[in-house]
Amino acid sequence: MGTLVIDIGNTRLAWRLRERSTIVQCGSASHQAISDALSTLPVVEAIAISSVQRSHEDQLQHWIEAAEQPQPIWIRSGADLPASVKTEQPHLTGSDRALCAFAWGGAQQQGPAIIIDAGTAVTVDAVNQSGHLLGGWIAPGWSALCQGLQQAAPSLPEMSDEEIGAAPIPWSGETRRAIRGGIESMFVEGVRGLRQRVQEALGETATTMITGGDADRLLPALQPARAQPNMVLDGLELILEGHRHG
């Protein structure tokens, strides 16, 4: 029997089914499709769930009981990982931030890390070598910036789907491209600035790790950096491994 880890994010759910050391299945779905997305998964030995969206927990709990799955380990905030979260208010620190830091410590990497999780919100966190989350910054993610501008200024046209590209231009003469370029610049340069603030304290040797659904939008501009998809799921698997070994 395998293990199942699930991340209930702000806008989507992601999961990973593993048997021994092999990933058998992984995927993501909208919150509205939770039950359908998980309906074909087999009964597993253990489940761990990260949740930053309490409103969708009942639906997931219903699937667990109906499918006769084992009761899960819930990680709802940094307070559920007290040994590794050193923020001022662990109970208000997101489980996703705590688990990314926990994953860094469990991987036994050398030195501290700046972990950037580019989701609905983008977090830029300081993590020491032991995987202790020291604190960080939280800002609007890519989709939040796009939606926020559209809601605040509904008369603006939809932004262009065209990538602005690496070659800098002084301005755009076309409105839809101007919106795209403005949002891209705020997103990338904003995260770059927050990364720099953290790096000034952690030191130049700190490794930048980028995870989350919009990691690809940041990775080329924040080199040197490493991409690590689904660090939250990595942290959950370490939780299950620790429980398995007592």
Domain holding 158, by residue range, is 111-229
| pTM score of the predicted model | 0.94
Cα(94)–Cα(200) distance, integer angstroms: 24
What is the predicted pLDDT for the residue at 167? 64
| 10-residue averages of pLDDT along the chain (246 residues) | 94 92 89 82 96 90 94 97 96 97 89 96 96 97 96 93 71 92 94 98 96 95 96 97 82
Residue 132 lies in a domain: yes
Candidates 113, 8, 114, 128; CA nearest to 56 is: 8
Residue 46 lies in a domain: no
Here the CATH number for the domain that contains residue 128 is: 3.30.420.40
Residue 201 lies in a domain: yes
Residue 163 lies in a domain: yes
Residue 197 lies in a domain: yes
Residue 190 lies in a domain: yes
What is the predicted pLDDT for the residue at 165? 60
Residue 136 lies in a domain: yes
Number of domains in the chain: 1
Residue 174 lies in a domain: yes
Q: What is the DSSP string of 27-62?
A: EEEEGGGHHHHHTTPPP-SEEEEEES-GGGHHHHHH
